[in-house]
A = this chain, B = another copy of it.
Amino acid sequence: MKIEEVLKSTVPMNNSKKIILNVLYTQNVITENFSEILKPYEISGEQYNVLRILRGQKGNPANMCVIQERMVAKTSNTTRLVDKLLLKDLVTRKVCPENRRKIEVLITQKGLDILKELDPKVIAHEEFFSKNLSSEEIVQLNQLLEKYRNQ
Contact = CB atoms under 8 A, between A and B. Distances in A.
Interface of A: 1-3, 7-11, 14-32, 56-58, 69-75, 123, 126-130, 132-133, 135, 137-142, 144-151
Contacts of A18: 142
Contacts of A11: 56
Chain A interface SS verdict (over half): helix
Which of A8, A11, A20 has the most C-beta atoms of chain B within 10 angstroms of its own C-beta? A20
A141 to B, nearest CB: 4
Nearest to A139: B15
Given A15-B130, A15-B138, 8 more contacts: A8-B70, A9-B56, A10-B58, A11-B56, A19-B138, A19-B145, A22-B146, A129-B148
A133 B144 CA distance: 8
B22 A126 contact: no
B16 A127 contact: yes
A81 to B, nearest CB: 16
